[in-house]
Chain A
Amino acid sequence: MPSTRPPALALSRPRRTPALQRITRRAAPWRRICLAALFVLAFILPAARAHADDLPSFVHDGQLTLCTNPTLPPMTFVNGSDTNALAGMDIDLARRLAAYWHVPLVPQTMDFEGLFPSLSAQRCGMVISGVLRQAGRLRNYDAVAYLDSSVVAVARVGTPRIRTMADLSGQTVAVQSGTSYAAQIERENDRLRAAGRLPIILQQYPTEDQVVQQVLIGRVHAFISQDVELYYRQKQLGGKVTIILTPDYPDFHQFAVYIRKDAHDTELLQKAIDDLTQQGELSAMARKWGISGDHQSVFTDRKASSRFDFATFFSALLSTAFLKGAALTLVIAILSHLTAIIISVPMAMKLNGRDSIVRRLLGLYVAIFRGAPTLLQLLFIWNALPQFFPIFREHWFTPFLATWLSLSINESAYQVEINRAALRAVDPGQVLAADALGMTTAQTYRHVIFPQALRIALPPTINEFISLLKTTSLASVISLQELLAVTQIQVARTFQFTEYYAAALVYYLAMVFFFLFLQKRIERRFVWADRDKASTDAA
């Protein structure tokens, strides 16, 4: 039986399969008998365990590393306000696999788009994140299915059911970016266009909760998702949405664990999944997370309030998750900007100096890092750098360090222009006077040039800092749990957009206003530059 590799669970309909023939025998009734027999066997056999010498190679340094994007309940999400408390079917499975191989599980959370690059960069051994088993992905990775599923098109309650995807012609549909629904809809559109009909209009959003929100606010007609997720959402949404179609896409039938290509590893992983299936552990997990074949059963009619919930807002505002997120945002911004200032001062001095090779290289540096989008630089340092230098794959290279590194480099390219202008604005007569008094170059910079340049550089520098403070939110793509990442995770869990967005806004504004206030205070110290102020102050 294991040689036929049956789908792990017979739930609803299968999901992201490589449209291959392998799993077409699923409906056979003898399969159920088999499963029942296995349940019995599970009591007799010792608990499924692997032999230590038969570990897959992605179990590394005595640990099993997992990459997951915890915004897809009930597969992988954050349960409760502690952003480190991962939960869901996928997390349970990962834990069980770790136990199976007698190693601790080390999960890493990140944006969906970051999952596969991180797997390639060997930052994690496997990806379990509600990802479907699909032919396209199998070209670069190996996958082992663990849960059946099916695609659903979902619209607001009251929307009439449709018969085929073609009925969505001319309508707007939202999907999560990075998922393969977009490609599927493109194929659908090719057929529509060939038939002379309007295509489906596609919108893509980075998180699943935003996708759902588009339907709730009526911006799009429907969203495409997986049934399992919808079961869970229904609890939060209180029956506001309904399934209007369950299209039969063979490529969307199964959730799978992804690993780097390796036949032996795949075999070992398949064996582990098979063992867990046979002992009924997978179906127990599915039941625990409410993943059930009966669509209608989960349609409860609990009414969710559409009013602004102040209790949620204030508890978010005071939660440790938000405080930690805000602190991380602040710390990474301050550290990055300080580093940027420290490296950009000598750079500015060199760039203001005589033409040389170093000066040209610095000019190139500034052009590159000002030219490339900050998001791209972050993704490059996190995902591409490890492919050139394996040292960046190691555990010390955390998202925090990667963000610090890329934001420092990026910011220095902007700060250097501020510094150059400020240094140039200092009257050359000042250097002459310091020279004539016998001061050394270092003394001149320290006591004469820098204090005067600082006054000129301060307002644009604070501006840069405020801008950087907000730029840190990009670091959520490489899984840094800064303020916006925390917010998104909370929104995915609770669906209370307005309350959590408002709490994040309060934090950002509070930080920005604090620095604007600080700027005013510091500027008051530059009385020497303003005749009137100097006079009133001296009085």
Chain B
Amino acid sequence: MQLSTSPDPTARISIRGLSKFYKDYLALDRVDLDVRKGERIVVLGPSGSGKSTFIRCLNRIEPHDSGVLMIDGRVIDDRTDLTALRGSVGMVFQNYNLFPHLSVLDNCTLAPRLVRGVGTSDAEATARRYLSQVNIAEQADKFPIQLSGGQQQRVAIARALCMNPEIILFDEPTAALDPESISGIVGIMRDLTEQGITTVCVTHEMGFARHIADRIVFMDRGAVLEITPPEEFFTAPRTERARTFLAQMIRH
């Protein structure tokens, strides 16, 4: 992992020495990473290793304490316009966090209308387009509670897409899904890449990781230990820590 010490402004995301503390607990330890446009990054690592913390720093839901984070050549710090940042960096959560009091369609149009000032009919047209892209166009008028887990996850993805982001962060998007739904999500994520969207995805599903990752980022105790293509990571991990991690995963 020999990256130059200064961030790369041509990368979609460029990270140097990113650290984050919770009080005196070091949750992220000098992380370095460059992500190209349209790349699919999968973050792996044991529980508590800082994966969620890491991707939450990317849209500044968690502000970092030191190091440099650059997105599309712009440094992200406490002077960054968060509304603009979150428009270009979308996020999909493990338990979806859909707004239960709004219909599927309204879930998708709320932020574009409020944050972007898009007119209702335009927002609805966009929302319906993305809902059909994730194959749930017919559920548009239902409430989230009426949908299955897989359907809800698709709504969450459509909701993020409606803001036209360049990057989408996924925190364990498949954790609550059955295998069939997981393969559906795999398809959707490939579509996103075709649209030029960069994705960073935290997961515990090794099969899923292998299918979608361009590169695997392996984390332990807040630090990045390996950044490698999936074939290499799953067959010949470079670090001892990754080997024991994989051994445990396979045993499960």
**Which A residues contact B (CB, under 8 angstroms)?**
427, 429-430, 432-440, 443, 447-448, 451-452, 455, 526-531, 534-535, 538
Given A535-B146, A538-B141: A438 touches B87 (CB 8 Å cut-off): yes
Contact of B61 among A432, A443, A528, A534 (CB under 8 A): A432
Contact of B163 among A429, A430, A438, A538 (CB under 8 A): A438
Docked-complex contact B142 and A534, CB < 8 angstroms: yes
Docked-complex contact A436 and B95, CB < 8 angstroms: no
Given A432-B97, A448-B99, A538-B141: A439 touches B91 (CB 8 Å cut-off): no
**Which B residues contact A (CB, under 8 angstroms)?**
59, 61, 82-87, 90-91, 93, 95, 97-102, 110-111, 114-115, 141-146, 159-160, 163
Docked-complex contact B115 and A430, CB < 8 angstroms: no
Closest residue on chain B to residue A538 by CB atoms: B142
Docked-complex contact B59 and A527, CB < 8 angstroms: no
Contact of A436 among B91, B99, B143, B144 (CB under 8 A): B91
Docked-complex contact B111 and A438, CB < 8 angstroms: yes
Residues of chain B within 8 A (CB-CB) of A527 are 143
**Residues of A contacting B: mostly:** helix
Q: List 9 A-B contacts (CB under 8 A).
A: A429-B95, A429-B97, A432-B97, A435-B86, A436-B91, A452-B101, A527-B143, A534-B143, A538-B142
Residues of chain A within 8 A (CB-CB) of B160 are 436-437
Residues of chain A within 8 A (CB-CB) of B99 are 430, 433, 448, 452
Residues of chain B within 8 A (CB-CB) of A439 are 110-111, 114-115
Q: Known contacts A429-B97, A437-B86, A437-B115; can you find 5 more A-B pairs with CB under 8 A?
A: A429-B93, A438-B87, A443-B115, A452-B101, A528-B101
State A534–B144 Cα separation when bound (angstroms): 10
Shortest Cβ distance from A385 into chain B, in angstroms? 43
Contact of B97 among A433, A526, A530, A535 (CB under 8 A): A433
Shortest Cβ distance from B103 into chain A, in angstroms? 8
Shortest Cβ distance from A338 into chain B, in angstroms? 23
Docked-complex contact A528 and B100, CB < 8 angstroms: yes
Residues of chain B within 8 A (CB-CB) of A451 are 101
State A535–B142 Cα separation when bound (angstroms): 8
Closest residue on chain B to residue A454 by CB atoms: B101
Closest residue on chain A to residue B163 by CB atoms: A437
Residues of chain A within 8 A (CB-CB) of B90 are 436-437
Shortest Cβ distance from A517 into chain B, in angstroms? 23
Shortest Cβ distance from A10 into chain B, in angstroms? 79
In the A-B complex, the 5 residue pairs with the smallest Cβ-Cβ separation, listed nearest first, are A438-B86, A433-B97, A437-B111, A436-B91, A429-B97
Closest residue on chain A to residue B113 by CB atoms: A447
Closest residue on chain B to residue A443 by CB atoms: B114
Closest residue on chain B to residue A435 by CB atoms: B61
Shortest Cβ distance from B115 into chain A, in angstroms? 5
State A436–B159 Cα separation when bound (angstroms): 11
Residues of chain A within 8 A (CB-CB) of B144 are 528
Docked-complex contact A529 and B61, CB < 8 angstroms: no
Shortest Cβ distance from A251 into chain B, in angstroms? 69
Contact of A534 among B59, B91, B114, B145 (CB under 8 A): B145
Given A437-B86, A437-B115, A452-B100: A432 touches B146 (CB 8 Å cut-off): no
Docked-complex contact A534 and B146, CB < 8 angstroms: yes
Contact of A531 among B85, B98, B141, B145 (CB under 8 A): B145
